[in-house]
Amino acid sequence: MQEQAYRANDKEEAIPNVATISHYCNKCGKEESYSENDINDLIKKARWHKLDLGRMGYGSSMDGSDIEFEICDSCLKAFIMSFENPDSVTCSGSNCYSEES
Ligand SMILES: [Zn+2]
């Protein structure tokens, strides 16, 4: 049986009135923890991404697996930049990030 690669993320541990937010990148193994009242918590939180693709369907090589993981900003960026046309993903919303600009 294959060992479960997924680890619980965003666990909040009760330390008297202050929650600790923990992140773990399933790609590179990077970990980060900080206090919920950390003055930079919003900036730190934006550097982590949870992806929940749900249960893979019949026909997928991962049929029946629930695909959910957390990835750090660096790994997500590297993944997207490996796309044939990363601008089709990154040029959206209120910004257009491109490696060439
Ligand atoms: Zn990473």
At residue 1, the pLDDT reads 42
Nearest to 26 by CA among 60, 1, 54, 49: 49
DSSP state of 61: T
Q: Render pLDDT for 37-63 as a digit per residue (tens, 0 to 9).
A: 878 888 889 999 999 999 999 999 999
> What is the Å distance from ligand 1's center to 80 Cα?
13
> What is the Å distance from ligand 1's center to 44 Cα?
14
> What is the Å distance from ligand 1's center to 47 Cα?
10
Using CA of residue 50, residue 53, residue 56, residue 61, what is the dihedral sign? negative
Non-local (6+) Cβ contacts of 75 within 8 A are: 25, 27, 28
> What is the Å distance from ligand 1's center to 60 Cα?
25
> What is the Å distance from ligand 1's center to 50 Cα?
12
3-class SS at 15?
Answer: strand
Does the pLDDT value for residue 6 go beyond 60? Answer: no
CA 62 vs. chain centroid, Å, equals 20
